[in-house]
Structures are given as structure tokens and as C-alpha cells.
Structure 1
Amino acid sequence: MTDDQGTSKKQGQDVNPNLAAVSIKLPPFWPKDPTIWFAQVEAQFTTRGITSQSTKFAYVVASLQPEIAEEVRDLLITPPEENPYDKIKTQLIERTSTSEQKRLHQLLISEELGDRKPSQLLRRRRQLLGERQLEDSIFKTLFLQRLPTNVQLILASTRDTVDIEQLSLIADKVLEVTPNVSSVAAITKSSPPPANVVAANFSPSIANSSSEIDELRSLVSKLTTKVDALTDQLAQRSRGRSRDRAYRGKRQFSRSRSKSRPRFYEKPGGYCWYHFKFGKKAEKCIPPCSYGKSGEQGNNKASD
């Protein structure tokens, strides 16, 4: 009697997980972060009471996209006899996870803000960092370098006194009230955000004091003024150089005409300009000139 009850109870334990699994639907495999995907899958297994290795293995295999299934083809063709779920989990994480070198490259160089919030970018960078240890100040600098220039300027005075989590939340709020620009020149085209608008969007736990906000506003305003002044100076110098070039060009053209005029302005009869203009009173003669050949030398005082 006892054996029958024990047998019945044991059979119930074997059957229940599979019966409960009928209604389960796993999300598609997420190659971007397989560890997170398995955490979600195992949460569903737990809520359904699924403990069988073979059952979990089957559901994981059914959720794989074709390109992912190719990565573990050997395990699909010949499933492991012992702990098949544990083994396919280990191999999927190892074979589809971003390599250490690629993760480091993304962390240092290629990972940009895009259309995400700064706080979302921070979480992504922590994910790329993984279990590696990196000095907080270096990690903070790498994070801030990926933010728009205007946000970096506003956070400049607080970056050393506020931790990176709070900085990311402040950056979220700054982007909500200021335009997203990528250069210092661009922010000079628009006035800095009013301090009261920025302060109103910060939660009490992360908001700067009014004096700090005034300081940030003053800093951006001074920078804008300096850039505008420099732009005006460059424009004035450019206009001055243009006027000088135009004036020198006119003088050079005028001198060229006055010097070349006697040489090229000749009478069709063969007289030089001086004899054509002054006749016998000409005190100069520029050859070739036919005036002297006719015996009418303008500079011969004896003939006068």
C-alpha cells in the first residue's frame, strides 16, 4: 500500500512539470545578452514548476532563431545525455556572447548615446564592463565623453562631487530642456537654459543648489559671449583685408595706366605721344617717332 502511494506520488512529480509546461511560451533568444535571456527563461520555468533537464532543453531549442541554432548545431544533432539544459545554456552563452576584445572596444570607442537617455547609456556601459574592474574616475570620464558637448559643459562643475549614477540622471533632465548639439559653436546659437527651468526638472535628491545652477548659467553665458566676440573680431578683420585688397588693386591699375600711356598712345602718323600732344613744344621724344624725320624737331630751340 505504501509502495503504491509512493509510486503514485513519484509519477505525479515526473508528470506535473511536463503538463505545466504546455502553456509556457519563451521569448525569442536574445544574442545581445544571453545571460539576461536565460534569467528570464528560468523565471518562467520556476513559476511553472519545470525542473526536468530534458524539458528545459527542448524549450530552449524551440526558441532559437536559425542563425543561433547554427552556433550549437552539435548539441542539437546529438543532445547531451546528462544535464542537457545546463550544457546548452553554457555553450550558448560562451558562443554568442560578445568577445572580450569587442566588448572593450565598444566600452572605450564605439558605444554612442544615440537616441537613448544618458542613464540608459550608463547601464549599457556597465554591462559591457562586466566583471572587469575599472577606476571610477576613468569610467566616469569615458561615460561623460559620450554625452553631447552642451551637457558636458553643464555637468563640468559637478562631475567631481556627484557620483556617476546621479550625473546620468541629471544629464537625462538636461537633455529634456536643452537642445542636443555636438559642438561648442552650436550652443552659441541658442541661449543657455534658464536656471529655474533646469532646477524645476531635477528631483530633490539630485538637484543642484541654486548657487551651483547660477554658476553653471554664468559659465555658459561667459563662454557664449567670448565666442561671439571672437566671431565679430574675425569678421571685422576679414572685411578690413577685403577693403585693403580692393584699394591696392585700384592704385596699381591707375599707376599702370599712367606709366604705360606715353608708350602705347601713338598717333597713327607715327608720332610719339609727346609730339602728338605738344608738337614743337614737346621736350621729350620716345622712339620710334617720325616727327624728327620731317625736320620739325620740337626740342630744337634754334629753330624757334
Structure 2
Amino acid sequence: MQALRGELQIDDKLFKELFLEHLPTDVQTILASVSEDLSVSKLAEMADRMLEVQRFQPPSIAQLSTSPLLTPNEHLVTQMVAMTAEMASLKLQLAHLTSYRSSSRSPSGRQSHSRPRTAGVCWYHTNFAQRPIGALPPVPSNLHRETSLPENRVGCPGDESVSGLQLADVPLTTGTGTMLSDVSTPFHRPFVPALMRRAVFHTLHGLSHPGI
């Protein structure tokens, strides 16, 4: 270093400044305060000693000595901000979980899609009143009562003498053909055998009360 200085013929003060610029920041800070009172050789000797001590220093201590430290107030503010963000996240998760459980357990939530059954109206008209595709016309409410009373049933044509029926083939008002009807009154009523009535009843009952 001295030989380089002699070749360049640099002033002591400028040479010291150039020498300090090539040292680590912490070494510069310490030596800059005493560089004016020391010779170049003494300054270089002190720098060598400091660098030698720093080489054997643990990495964690060296890192702490060079990294900026937070003041107690700044450290407290940082912790409070982190805790506030964590509490807000927990509150949001708790509110979402509570809302999901209340909606899944609410009785009204499970029955909101059901509609009250109207007497005498089939299941399709009750649930699909706006679009009763494939549904039958509303079933009269007295149909079940009439078909369930024994005195209103006629078992077979052999019961004519008991019921007072007068059976005859009556021409159809639409199309061709005839229909077996009771002509004992001015209003001719079609005669439906018991087996056919039972089949019709079960069909209508199945439409009005599915699964029953």
C-alpha cells in the first residue's frame, strides 16, 4: 500500500479517504472518527485487526450488527397490525360458518319448496300449475266418496233386478258406435263395470297421491 502511495504521490488525507472507501461499512464508521489523528500505517493496522475479529464473529451477530433495528414502538405497531388482520380473517370465517349452519338447519329451508295440497286437485296441478304437462284435469273432490260407498257400486249386469238399472246400448253423440248405459232415468248414464271402475280409481288415486 505504501509503495502504491509513493508511485501516485497522493496526499495523506485523500489517501486515507480512498483507503476507507474499500472497507466494510461498520469498519468505515469506526475508523472515520479517528483517521485524522492516526497515520496511514496505524490506520491500516487497526483496520486489519477489526477485519480479523469480524471474520471470527458468528454470522447471526454480524447480521444483527448490520441490519436496521426497529424501535420498541415500531415493533409494537407491527405486531398490532398483524394481530388485527388475523382477527378480521377469523371473524369472516366464523360468520360464513354460522350462516351456513343456520341455513342448513332451518325448518323453513327444507320446506320452502313444498306447496299445500288443494283438495280435489291432482299432484301435477298442485306442483306444476303453470305448466301441467301430462297432467290430468282436476279430479272432483266427490269422486273418491262416490267410488268408496258400497251402495253406489254395481257389481255386474246381473244386479239389474236389485239396483233397478235398465241397461241398453246408446249411440255415441260423437263418432260411431254405442255405449252400454243406464236408461232408467231421463239422463242416460254410462254403465262402467266394477273392474274398470276399480282400475280407474287406482289410477287417479296414484296420480293424486304418488307413493301411497
- TM-score higher than 0.5: no
Range class of TM-score, shorter chain: 0.3 to 0.5
TM-score normalised by the chain length of structure 1: 0.29
TM-score normalised by the chain length of structure 2: 0.39
Structure having the higher helix fraction is 1
Which structure is richer in relative contact order (CA contacts within 8 A, separation 6 or more)? 2
Q: Which has the larger radius of gyration?
A: 2
Structure having the higher strand fraction is 2
